[in-house]
Amino acid sequence: MNPSEAMRIALQSLWANKLRSVLTLLGVVIGVAAVIAVVTFVSGINGYVAERIFRLGADVFITGKTSGVITNIDQYLEQNKRKDLTLDDYRAVLEGCKHCLYVGATTFNGNGHVRYAEQSSTDTWVRGLTPSMAPIMDLNLVAGRMLNENDLDRGAAVAIVGNDIVEKLLPGVDPINKEIRVDGKPFLVIGVGEKEGKTLGQSRDNYVIIPVTTWLRKYGYHTSIRISAKAAGVGAALDSAMDEARAILRARRHDMPGQPDSFAVEDNQNFLSIWANLSGTFFIAMVAIAAISLVVGGIVIMNIMLVSVTERTREVGIRKAMGARRQDVLLQFLIESATMSLVGGFIGVVLGATLAKVITFLVGMPSSIKLWAVLAGLLVSASVGIFFGVYPARRAARLDPIAALRFEL
């Protein structure tokens, strides 16, 4: 028997017993779909994290009272006991960091209430920025102007708004020079930010940006700021800039020699390494779950193949009587088992990729289908079929042709 004939018989068997085929392949389908979906999401998010979530280039670093990612309660408690970073700290780094092209300061409030006339927006990010944060964050405008040093010095009540604010509060109206109220205080709109879309279902355009001095006066001077800086380059230039900023802040905060920093300095690689660890752990966990599903699916395939051997005992006897060798019968059933599993793998690939893209469409979670993941899914599914098909195939190959011809169900 040639391989194409064995595959044809396997496909005919699947089609003739549709319900049994669905139940047989369910484990393989779920396992492969899970792996494809996870790889698609992890690949998509990995490419998205540095560009959109942290908004850091390879030459940017952030200094804060606490780390951007805290992994345990002890770390959280220790870091929150530290002194706040202030605008004076920002000005010291601005003046003293010779390897920094730009130095900026930020602070934010994540649940602001914005109103214009009878329209309002809740849970709006209200960010306080220095003008120098625009090139650091790669913040672009589609209308109006950016904050300037005069706005910062005066603590001006001016604002740059995101696309969501324009669409919800000012539809069909030129927003420039319109007065909005942010948590009850009037602000003059001077600019509109470029639309950024969603990340993990969360809009990135529901924000209001005001001068950091205005923010501190409105929400409290006892809030710690975050100092961001853009170095003159990557590698040694970035390291030099970070060392300068660290030395300046250690001196201002009276950190003793040999003692750890009383603040956190992080660059793009810090965040990416943390994310890589988290996504790697998640990936391993999902692969382990998928592996269990594949094992269950393989056991079911083995069971069905044993049933198939029993049902086709006379067929095997006839083939052997006509000259088929043991290896011919063995190969026939192995090909049939692998074909069944491969069909499940193909369905799993399509299902996993479709699921990932549907979730991307609905909630904006980034995804990226990788060819190697598709090929790996098909290879693994075929391997499962071959592995769990060996025993039924050997059982069929060892049948005595005389006894097989006499067999009756």
Instruction: Assess if residue 354 is contained within a domain.
Output: yes
Average the pLDDT over each of 100-104, 125-129, 403-407 and give the range with the smallest value.
Answer: 403-407
Residue 409 pLDDT level (bands cut at 50, 70, 90): low
Q: How many domains does the chain have?
A: 2
Is the same domain home to 90 and 238?
yes
Mean pLDDT of 268-281: 69
Instruction: Assess if residue 384 is contained within a domain.
Output: yes
Please say whether the beta carbons of 216 and 128 come within 8 A.
yes
Please say whether the beta carbons of 188 and 179 come within 8 A.
yes
Is the same domain home to 256 and 302?
no
Nearest C-alpha neighbor of 380 from the set 354, 329, 350, 341: 341
Is the same domain home to 112 and 232?
yes
pLDDT value at 170 more than 80: yes
Instruction: Assess if residue 267 is contained within a domain.
Output: no
Query: Given 217, 234, 262, which residue is the final one in a domain?
Result: 262
pLDDT of residue 179: 94
Please, is 287 exposed, middle or buried when counting C-beta atoms within 10 Å of its C-beta (0-12, 13-18, 19+)? middle
Is the same domain home to 130 and 254?
yes
Is the same domain home to 30 and 92?
no
Alpha carbons 245 and 4: distance in angstroms, whole number: 69
Is the same domain home to 223 and 284?
no
Better-scored residue on pLDDT, 207 or 334: 207
Alpha carbons 278 and 53: distance in angstroms, whole number: 15
pLDDT value at 312 more than 90: no
Query: Given 228, 262, 296, which residue is the final one in a domain?
Result: 262
Is the same domain home to 247 and 113?
yes
Q: Is the pTM of this model over 0.75?
A: no
Instruction: Assess if residue 240 is contained within a domain.
Output: yes
**Which pair of tokens denotes residue 330?**
């063995």
Is the same domain home to 156 and 289?
no
Is the same domain home to 251 and 283?
no
Is the same domain home to 303 and 190?
no
Instruction: Assess if residue 69 is contained within a domain.
Output: no
**233 lies in which domain range?**
83-262
- Orientation angle between helical segments 268-311 and 371-397, nearest 10 degrees: 30
Alpha carbons 134 and 143: distance in angstroms, whole number: 15
Query: Given 222, 237, 262, which residue is the final one in a domain?
Result: 262
pLDDT tens-digit series, residues 13-46? 767 777 777 777 888 888 888 888 888 877 777 6
CA distances in angstroms from 313 to 2, 16, 407, listed in the order given: 20, 18, 7
Is the same domain home to 28 and 112?
no
Is the same domain home to 366 and 390?
yes
- Averaged pLDDT of the chain: 83
Nearest C-alpha neighbor of 345 from the set 30, 41, 43: 30
Residue entry with tokens 């790669």:
138
**Which pair of tokens denotes residue 216?**
């501190």
Instruction: Assess if residue 66 is contained within a domain.
Output: no
Residue 270 pLDDT level (bands cut at 50, 70, 90): low
Instruction: Assess if residue 205 is contained within a domain.
Output: yes
Strands 185-193 and 179-182, bridge-based pairing: antiparallel
